[in-house]
Amino acid sequence: MIVWSGGDAVNQQDELAKAFIRRFPKVPIDIRVDLSKILDVEIYHGLLDGELIPDVTMLQTSNDFEDWKKMGVLESFKPAEFATIRDEFKDPDGDFSAFRMLAFLPQYARKGVQVTPLNVKDLVNESYRDKLVLTYPHNDDAVLFVYDKLIKQYGKEFLKDLAALNPFFVRGTAGPPLLVGLNGLLGCLTGYKTSPEQLSQSYIPEEDFFISWAQRIAMFKQTKHKAAARLFLAFVQSDEFQASLGKYTVQKTVNSTSDKWIGSYSNTNPVGFYEFMRDREYIGRLRLTMEKYFGPVEGASPVKDHKMIKLTYGWPYF
């Protein structure tokens, strides 16, 4: 069975693959990770020429799933725990659903920061000049959504002030949290939740907006290994797997020791990103605005950049 997963680090779905193999050792699985905007184009080509490769896809580009439903190319399926998935994250006909929550959180270095930041805006001041590592917002729609919200909160002065600090830009969101704490870099605005052994610390802002959303997942009518695809969909929405996600579950209720569901904070909106992704014209204009302040996107894709690949596997970037 072949799964295509949106992401910006080649090893991002390794743990998911291992969990599935432990549960179903006789079912072969291959998970390819690449940027969602790359995978969806390949999927459209595969659907058109009848040579679709993935059996299951899970992407950040949530608008694709709505378009595929309209095209009538998705295979409806409702696993045993489908009813427990939050209604706002699934198609009522079972054409697509969601398997886990994601969130981008600001980060600061565990050493070297004079005042612990409480909000995103706390990172935009002179003490962080030449010390911020950021993802190009015009190269990642989820990051772009965060900047859109911050512009609406603080105005375009936010972009001007941020650009004036001479931040270090990279492609992808996996890299910044791993770079914070190295070579004098003290913070980033959007990154994944950090682990205790990292040099950076993620935090949920007290007031400023942060993005949370549920990654959509589906199989197709052209899917070649439908039994395995259904098994995979059932596994990722099972009580067993969802319980392992803690506050990042997509279930309405789940036995967990987590203190608070990530989508329940007042300064996030778990379905706001879906709405944002539907307006492609607005997104195009917003990208041009980001390029005006931060310059063009440079560098290789993070899943092909050898420095980024080494970094996500624990090797030094610099």
Type of residue numbered 139: N
The answer on 286 and 164 residing in a single domain is yes
What is the distance between the terminal CA atoms of the chain, rounded to a whole angstrom?
A: 37
The answer on 285 and 140 residing in a single domain is yes
pLDDT tens for 103-119 read 999 999 999 999 999 99
* Residue range 290-306: mean pLDDT, rounded: 96
Per-residue confidence band for 253, with pLDDT thresholds at 50, 70 and 90: confident
Q: How far apart are CA 14 and CA 34, in angstroms?
A: 13
CA nearest neighbour of 189 among 119, 95, 243, 273:
119
The answer on 177 and 296 residing in a single domain is yes
* Residue range 189-202: mean pLDDT, rounded: 94
Residue 279 has pLDDT above 60, yes or no: yes
The answer on 247 and 205 residing in a single domain is no
The answer on 32 and 145 residing in a single domain is no
Asked if 177 and 191 touch (Cβ cutoff 8 Å), the reply is yes
Residue 256 has pLDDT above 50, yes or no: no
Kindly state whether residue 29 falls inside one of the protein's structural domains.
Answer: yes
Q: How far apart are CA 176 and CA 188, in angstroms?
A: 6
> Residue 98: what pLDDT?
97
154-180 burial by CB neighbour count: b if 16+ within 10 A, else e? beeebbeebeebebebbbbbbbbbbbb
* Residue range 49-61: mean pLDDT, rounded: 97
In degrees, to the nearest 5, what angle opens at C-alpha 274 toward C-alphas 270 and 275? Answer: 110
Structurally, how many domains does the chain consist of? Answer: 2
**Which H or E run contains 214?**
strand 211-219
Residue 194 has pLDDT above 80, yes or no: yes
> Residue 127: what pLDDT?
96
pLDDT tens for 126-168 read 999 999 999 999 999 999 999 999 999 999 999 999 999 999 9
Per-residue confidence band for 254, with pLDDT thresholds at 50, 70 and 90: low
The answer on 242 and 218 residing in a single domain is yes
- Token pair belonging to 231: 């098994």
Q: How far apart are CA 210 and CA 149, in angstroms?
A: 9
Kindly state whether residue 317 falls inside one of the protein's structural domains.
Answer: no
pLDDT tens for 79-100 read 999 999 999 999 999 999 999 9
CA distance readout (Å), 297 to 89, 124, 203, 214, 216? 32, 21, 27, 26, 27
Per-residue confidence band for 259, with pLDDT thresholds at 50, 70 and 90: low
Question: Beta partners for 202?
Answer: 107
Q: How far apart are CA 57 and CA 72, in angstroms?
A: 16
Query: Which residues have a Cβ under 8 Å from the Cβ of 24 and sit 6 or more positions away?
Result: 231, 235
Per-residue confidence band for 249, with pLDDT thresholds at 50, 70 and 90: very high
* Residue range 170-181: mean pLDDT, rounded: 96
CA nearest neighbour of 150 among 186, 176, 122:
122
Question: pLDDT exceeding 90 applies to what percent of the chain?
Answer: 96
The answer on 192 and 46 residing in a single domain is no
Kindly state whether residue 243 falls inside one of the protein's structural domains.
Answer: yes
Q: How far apart are CA 302 and CA 10, in angstroms?
A: 8
Q: Which residue has the higher pLDDT, 193 or 256?
A: 193
Q: Burial of 301 by CB count in 10 Å (0-12 exposed, 13-18 middle, 19+ buried)?
A: middle
Angle between helices 141-154 and 157-164 (to 10 degrees): 110
The answer on 297 and 201 residing in a single domain is yes
* Residue range 222-238: mean pLDDT, rounded: 98
Kindly state whether residue 318 falls inside one of the protein's structural domains.
Answer: no
Give the residue numbers spanning the domain of 73. 2-101+213-276
Per-residue confidence band for 258, with pLDDT thresholds at 50, 70 and 90: low
Asked if 88 and 261 touch (Cβ cutoff 8 Å), the reply is no
Tell me, what DSSP letter sits at residue 271? T
Q: 257: domain CATH number?
A: 3.40.190.10
Residue 69 has pLDDT above 80, yes or no: yes
* Residue range 211-232: mean pLDDT, rounded: 98
Q: Which residue has the higher pLDDT, 254 or 42?
A: 42
Q: How far apart are CA 248 and CA 11, in angstroms?
A: 19
* Residue range 37-49: mean pLDDT, rounded: 97
In degrees, to the nearest 5, what angle opens at C-alpha 74 toward C-alphas 72 and 77? Answer: 130
**Which H or E run contains 14?**
helix 14-23
The answer on 124 and 185 residing in a single domain is yes
The answer on 172 and 287 residing in a single domain is yes
Asked if 17 and 235 touch (Cβ cutoff 8 Å), the reply is no
Kindly state whether residue 190 falls inside one of the protein's structural domains.
Answer: yes
Q: How far apart are CA 60 and CA 99, in angstroms?
A: 12
CA distance readout (Å), 62 to 19, 51, 78, 284, 285? 25, 22, 19, 16, 19
The answer on 108 and 96 residing in a single domain is no
The answer on 206 and 218 residing in a single domain is no
* Residue range 204-218: mean pLDDT, rounded: 98
